[in-house]
């Protein structure tokens, strides 16, 4: 199976390249701010499957750059999906829990109403809608709190702060499932093998168990052996340009039922990441 991946240096894209023989395109080869050019790449690609692992992910910056975020996160994947549909190629696309309103306590199921509370979420929802409307075989994978040994993420930030400070305050009223990029990549590859028109749709995939950012940080410090005192704080005490959802829990039952892919234990994934970073 020949797989073309949009994205090369992101967390999931790096894991896809590590786990499989894929053709990964960086920004110089596939500029998502030019949706027509991305469509042309799909039209002429020697590929059996297309995976879009590229996105505008600067959540706070998207508030001031919603037009660009929407081009990259919505217009580009829409045109890719249309081109893939025209060739009969399955198209897999990564999305986010930010398409929801972040309210309540129950894990969100894929069919629940969407209501993003920030520009990033709106741009990702528009991308989902474009992919669904493309008419081809597709899978949209909503995930949350992605981490790995690559790039910038919460785990690496906490490791840095844990070595600089003896005490730290972390938000404790946002709850979600941290998700290892390694597991997201493996899931995309499994889905690519099984994806057919009948099981096209939107699926959720996130790590278990659900925790707060504070509890996530506590496990990072515990596994890394960093003696940091942690205190909790409400989101309201840590204002950001973009509003953050308090409830990022995702119900992953459909993924298990359709593709036989269980939720990963993020604590085991964290252990691997720390080993890769040389923290042991």
- Residues 166-178: tens digit of each pLDDT: 999 999 999 999 9
CA–CA dist 5, 22 (Å, integer): 7
Distance of alpha carbon 197 from alpha carbon 43, whole angstroms: 20
Residue range of the domain that includes 115: 3-153+178-208+250-266
Let me know if residue 272 belongs to a domain: no
Assigned domain for 279 exists: no
Q: What is the pLDDT of residues 19-71, one digit of tens each?
A: 999 999 999 999 999 999 999 999 999 999 999 999 999 999 999 999 999 99
* 195, 58 contact by CB (below 8 A): no
What average pLDDT does range 156-171 have in this prediction? 95
Adjacent-strand bridge partners of 142: 95, 204
Rounded percentage of the chain residues whose pLDDT exceeds 90: 98
* Domain-embedded: residue 226: no
Which of the four pLDDT bands, split at 50, 70 and 90, describes residue 278? confident
Is the pLDDT at 96 greater than 70? The verdict is yes
* DSSP, res 262: P
Which residue among the candidates 120, 138, 203, 205 is catalytic per the annotation?
120
Residue 107 has pLDDT above 70, yes or no: yes
Query: Does the structure show a pLDDT above 80 at 228?
Result: yes
Q: What is the mean pLDDT of residues 125-141?
A: 98
For residue 280, pLDDT over 70 is answered with: no
> Could you tell me the two tokens for 239?
């204002």
Q: What is the CATH number of the domain that holds 110?
A: 3.40.50.720
Asked if 136 contacts 91 with a C-beta cutoff of 8 angstroms, the reply is yes
pLDDT mean over 119-134: 98
Domain-located, residue 88: yes
Amino acid 193: pLDDT: 96
**Is 191's pLDDT higher than 80?**
yes
What pTM did the predictor assign?
A: 0.96
Residue 23 lies in a domain: yes
The predicted structure's pLDDT at residue 192 = 97
As a whole number of angstroms, the distance between CA 43 and CA 53 comes to 18
Q: Which of 94, 93, 100 is nearest to 121 (CA)?
A: 100
- Domains of the chain: total: 1
Kindly state the average pLDDT of the residues 142-162. Answer: 96
The yes-or-no answer on residue 120 being catalytic is yes
> Strands across the sheet with 211-212, in order?
211-212, 175-176, 247-248
- Does residue 39 lie within any of the structural domains? yes
Confidence at 190, pLDDT banded by 50, 70, 90: very high
Residue with tokens 């073309």: 4
What pLDDT sits at residue 237? Answer: 94
Give domain status of residue 106, yes or no: yes
CA distance 92 to 50: 6
Is 202:110 a contact under the CB 8 Å cutoff? yes
Is 227 among the domain residues?
no
Predicted confidence (pLDDT) at residue 279 exceeds the cutoff of 80: no
The mean of the pLDDT values for the chain is: 97
């Amino acid at each position: 199976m020949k797989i073309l991946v949009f994205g090369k240096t992101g967390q999931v894209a790096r894991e896809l390249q590590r786990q499989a023989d894929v053709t990964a395109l960086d920004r110089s080869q596939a500029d998502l701010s030019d949706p027509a050019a991305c469509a042309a790449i799909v039209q002429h690609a020697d590929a059996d499957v297309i995976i879009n692992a590229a996105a505008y992910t600067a959540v706070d910056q998207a508030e001031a750059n919603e037009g660009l975020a929407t081009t990259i996160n919505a217009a580009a994947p829409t045109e890719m999906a249309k081109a893939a549909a025209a060739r009969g190629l399955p198209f897999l696309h990564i999305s986010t829990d930010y398409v929801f309103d972040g309210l309540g306590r129950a894990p969100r199921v894929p069919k629940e109403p969407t209501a993003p509370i920030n520009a990033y979420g709106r741009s990702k929802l528009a991308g989902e809608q474009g992919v669904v409307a493309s008419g081809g075989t597709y899978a949209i994978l909503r995930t949350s709190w992605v981490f790995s040994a690559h790039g910038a993420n919460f785990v690496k930030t906490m490791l840095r702060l844990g070595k600089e400070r003896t005490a730290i305050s972390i938000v404790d009223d946002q709850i979600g499932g941290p998700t290892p990029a390694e597991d997201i990549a493996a899931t995309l590859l499994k889905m690519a093998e099984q994806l057919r028109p009948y099981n096209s749709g939107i699926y959720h995939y996130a790590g278990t168990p659900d925790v707060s950012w504070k509890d996530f940080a506590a496990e990072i410090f515990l596994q890394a052996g960093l003696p940091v005192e942690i205190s909790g704080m409400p989101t309201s005490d840590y204002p950001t340009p973009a509003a953050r959802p308090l409830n990022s829990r995702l119900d992953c039952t459909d993924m298990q039922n359709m593709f036989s892919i269980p939720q990963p234990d993020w604590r085991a994934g964290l252990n691997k990441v720390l080993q890769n970073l040389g923290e042991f």
